Amino acid sequence: MIGLGFLYFFLPVFTALYLVSPKQIKSRLVLLSGAGLICYADPVGLILMGVCILSGYLFGVFIHNFREKPAGRVLVGLSIAVNFAAFLLFHRTAYDGSDLLTVIGKQSILKNTALVGASLMPFHSIAYCVDVYRKKYVCDHKFIRVAEYIAFFPCFAAGPILRFDRVRREMEEPKVSAEKSAAGIRMLMLGLFMKLFISNTMYELWNDVRDIPVRSLPALSAWIGILAFAFFVFFELSAFSYMASGLASLMGIRVPRNFREPYRATGFFDFCRRFNCTVYRWCVDYIYRSIKRSGEGLFCDLLAVTISLIVAMLWYGFSLRTVVFGAAFMLMLCLEKILKKPLNKLPTPVKRLLFLFLLMVILPFLAFSSPMEAVQYIAAMFGGSNVAVDTTSEYLFGTYFLFVVICLLISSGVSGYIFKKKVFSNEYLQTVIQPVWVIALLIFCTAILVSGDSGSYMYIYMF
């Protein structure tokens, strides 16, 4: 999805067509572009697109008609089953292409497919059907509108997951303005910059550390490595979310923020609310609350959290690493719940540091395919190799110091504060800086794309 072709050809052509198209054509154009992108990645993805759109639209209509009757409940269950089955079948990791079948030791049905939108369309379709059943809104009889929502291509890569009632009006009457377009371009370029300059570099740093045999890995290098992995995870996903917001804004549609400085969280529950918020909200609204409605008590609580977490982790890809990391994360959530009172007494900075420390300790489970390797890596973080610092640590520190500082500034919210409060709050300064900033980002991103150095790290946003 990211490349010179996308930036220099797809983007201007699509934007121009979108601008000149009459209202009723715009939705078709969005749908066609989404289908084109899926087809470009792998035509097999069109099956998933068809299943999600058709099931969403048809079940939506039927559920609307039968929602007062017991059949409504059956229909909503069917819609969830169909979409979730499609999700399980088509979704996979970008790392090694593993899917649900490979995780349970079987041979994958769909080989070598990197499906675009597999993490988004089933979630949109389920959200639409459940909301219609819950009478949050009535179903839309315009097929193209529902289809546009379910297959809204700007969010294909890594969300955010949208809600139909919030984007419906803007999809019906998209209002493209200079302000929205400029904001869209700014977000798009910022996302591209995060992906190409920061995320890819952090991934390289992580790869450098991962390549060192654990038995000789100094503790400092291990901590640098896992910090790089943490930054990579955050910047990779938030970069795609920024790009999605930017593209949507160019189309006159506002999409919700997906990341709220997650590494400033004071605990694991807080982290869930800040990291990829729309996935969290989706799991809370459609899984956690649904289970909670059917029963009370600790067992129900635990079941609701567990299933929500499993689905949330599956969203990041089907692999053993997501399952194991999910379990470790669950353990942390339970501990936090049990120790809620003493933890609340701690000062906020201490809570933040404690959370970050614990997150770093469990992150190797997400970073390694094998849990044993992760355990060995965690041991190295605590001096398992009996070496604290060596020339490798110095090399890593020297080479990537500036990048790590940039990551710290952005993820801690300092750079955001400076830009929003000090630079973009001044209208005159903003007039000059905004175009210069955008063009500078465009020039730099183009330089990275032309150099091709990032080619091998293009589609690694799923684990």
Partner 1 sequence: MKKFSDIITVAAFFTILIMFAVSTLFFQKTVSFSQTKEREGNVKEAASEYVDRNFPMNKNWRSLYTNVMVFTGRSRFGDTYYTNGRLIKHLGRKHKDNTIENVAYVNEMAANTDSQIFMMLAPTAAGVYSADLPDFLSEKSQRETINDAYMQLDKRIASIDAFYPLYSARDEYVFYRTENLWTSFGAYYAYTESTRQLGLQTVTLENYDQEYAASDFYGSLYDTAMVGGIKSDRINIFRSKYQSPVKKVEMFNGDETKEAESVYFRSALKNNKKTDIFLLGDRYVKTDIYTDIENAPKLLIIKGSFANTIVPFYTAHYSKITMVDPKKLSESGLTLSETVDLDEYDQILVLFDIDSFSQAGYFKSLT
Q: Which stretch binds partner 1 (CB under 8 A): 143-151, 154-162, 183-191, 251-259?
A: 183-191
46 scored as a contact of partner 1 (CB under 8 A): no
Shorter beta-carbon distance to partner 1: residue 111 or 345: 111
Q: How far is the CB of 339 from partner 1 (least distance, A)?
A: 39
408 scored as a contact of partner 1 (CB under 8 A): no
204 scored as a contact of partner 1 (CB under 8 A): yes
Among residues 8, 106, 175, 420, the one that binds partner 1 under rule CB under 8 A? 8
179 scored as a contact of partner 1 (CB under 8 A): yes
Convert 183-246 into a string of H (helix), E (strand) and C (coil). Answer: HHHHHHHHHHHHHHHHHHHHHHHHHHHHCCCHHHCCHHHHHHHHHHHHHHHHHHHHHHHHHHHH
Among residues 71, 74, 353, 402, the one that binds partner 1 under rule CB under 8 A? 402
Looking up tokens 């979108």, which residue turns up? 18
# of chain residues touching partner 1 (CB under 8 A):
52
**Which residues ranging from 340 to 369 are in contact with partner 1 (CB under 8 A)?**
none
178 scored as a contact of partner 1 (CB under 8 A): yes
The Cα-based distances of 119 to 47, 61, 301 in angstroms read: 14, 23, 26
399 scored as a contact of partner 1 (CB under 8 A): yes
Convert 419-435 into a string of H (helix), E (strand) and C (coil). Answer: HHHHHCCCHHHHHHHHH
Q: Which stretch binds partner 1 (CB under 8 A): 67-75, 134-142, 302-310, 400-408?
A: 400-408
Among residues 335, 442, 459, 460, the one that binds partner 1 under rule CB under 8 A? 442
Going by C-beta distance under 8 Å and a sequence separation of 6 or more, which residues neighbour residue 267?
Answer: 336, 343, 351, 355
Going by C-beta distance under 8 Å and a sequence separation of 6 or more, which residues neighbour residue 399?
Answer: 205
Shorter beta-carbon distance to partner 1: residue 249 or 258: 249
Q: Which stretch binds partner 1 (CB under 8 A): 70-78, 87-95, 369-377, 399-407?
A: 399-407
Q: Which stretch binds partner 1 (CB under 8 A): 62-70, 100-108, 156-164, 395-403?
A: 395-403
Among residues 140, 148, 208, 336, the one that binds partner 1 under rule CB under 8 A? 208
Among residues 15, 21, 65, 290, the one that binds partner 1 under rule CB under 8 A? 15
Among residues 71, 331, 338, 432, the one that binds partner 1 under rule CB under 8 A? 432
| Contact (Cβ atoms closer than 8 angstroms) between residue 158 and residue 116 | no
428 scored as a contact of partner 1 (CB under 8 A): yes
| Contact (Cβ atoms closer than 8 angstroms) between residue 81 and residue 424 | no
181 scored as a contact of partner 1 (CB under 8 A): yes
Among residues 65, 290, 412, 430, the one that binds partner 1 under rule CB under 8 A? 430
Q: At what angle do helices 200-210 and 219-250 cross, to 10 degrees?
A: 150
| Rounded distance between C-alpha atoms, residue 32 and residue 144, angstroms | 11
Residue 98: which of 391, 309, 317, 244 has the closest Cα? 317
Q: How far is the CB of 152 from partner 1 (least distance, A)?
A: 22
| Contact (Cβ atoms closer than 8 angstroms) between residue 157 and residue 234 | no
Going by C-beta distance under 8 Å and a sequence separation of 6 or more, which residues neighbour residue 305?
Answer: 288, 330, 333
Among residues 395, 416, 418, 423, the one that binds partner 1 under rule CB under 8 A? 395
| Rounded distance between C-alpha atoms, residue 128 and residue 59, angstroms | 9
| Rounded distance between C-alpha atoms, residue 362 and residue 209, angstroms | 17
448 scored as a contact of partner 1 (CB under 8 A): yes
9 scored as a contact of partner 1 (CB under 8 A): yes
| Rounded distance between C-alpha atoms, residue 107 and residue 99, angstroms | 9
| Rounded distance between C-alpha atoms, residue 432 and residue 190, angstroms | 17
Q: How far is the CB of 59 from partner 1 (least distance, A)?
A: 34
426 scored as a contact of partner 1 (CB under 8 A): no
| Contact (Cβ atoms closer than 8 angstroms) between residue 426 and residue 255 | no
Q: Which residues bind partner 1 (CB under 8 A)?
A: 3-5, 7-9, 11-12, 15, 40, 178-179, 181-183, 185-186, 201, 204, 208, 211-213, 390-392, 395, 398-403, 427-428, 430-432, 434-435, 438-439, 442-444, 446-448, 450-453
